[in-house]
Structure 1
């Protein structure tokens, strides 16, 4: 099993979408846990950073030009996938709104049809199934 190295504040800021002052405040307030040595240097577990902050987008240079990379782990959703899911959710919400409007319109139509039906005759006796 590979041991995961702890991150310094500098490394955490470099790899995650957070500023140094924000990270220092989060460490001091206890929002994020870390270990401070006798000299005041903080070390933070990468999983603790991933719990609160998104990985920072970085540029990876290829032979044929620039390609945007990501320092995310397998458990961190990629930005493109999140955006695609947001679009699918918005489409689903639109379909639900349309379906609700149609259901309401059909309900009103059914009520209109019920009002058009003749009233049941009061003198009609109920037919019994049992002879006694």
Structure 2
């Protein structure tokens, strides 16, 4: 792929122009600057730090909104995901409580640590 100008890089990757300029000047991204001060950057170099913008075409706002049925399917799917996540959270909480009880039992079993006597003079170990 051909090197990109700053303007093209901003269009293709999720980064702003000032952020990209700072990254070039600080050396986070390598690029080539011509005699007029214009930068060109290898796309793979930008892809190391920034994710590409989505490839979805921009929807025309004058087009009809999706049908109510598609929203209800998405809502049902999201509700199912939420229920699953809540179930996993409840299991994790129960496991954490069980482990806490086990740790407390082990602490009761262990003898208290013996105090370490240190000499009052600093030159002995």
TM-score (structure 1 length as normaliser): 0.49
Q: Corresponding residue for 1:105?
A: 101
Larger radius of gyration between Structure 1 and Structure 2 = 1
Q: How far apart, in 1, do the equivalents of 2:32 and 2:41 lie?
A: 7
Relative contact order (C-alpha < 8 Å, sep 6+): which is higher?
2
User: RMSD of aligned C-alpha atoms?
Assistant: 3.9
Question: More strand per residue: 1 or 2?
Answer: 1
Q: Tell me: CA distance 1:92–1:5, structure 2 relative to 1, closer, same or farther (3 Å).
A: farther
Give the aligned length: 87
Q: Corresponding residue for 2:54?
A: 57
Q: Corresponding residue for 2:12?
A: 15
Q: Displacement of 1:57 after TM fit?
A: 2.6
Q: Displacement of 1:38 after TM fit?
A: 1.8
Question: More helix per residue: 1 or 2?
Answer: 2
Give the alignment partner of residue 46 of structure 1, picking from 43, 47, 55. Answer: 43
Q: Displacement of 1:103 after TM fit?
A: 2.4
TM-score (structure 2 length as normaliser): 0.51
- Deviation beyond 6 Å, 4+ runs, structure 1: 91-94, 109-112
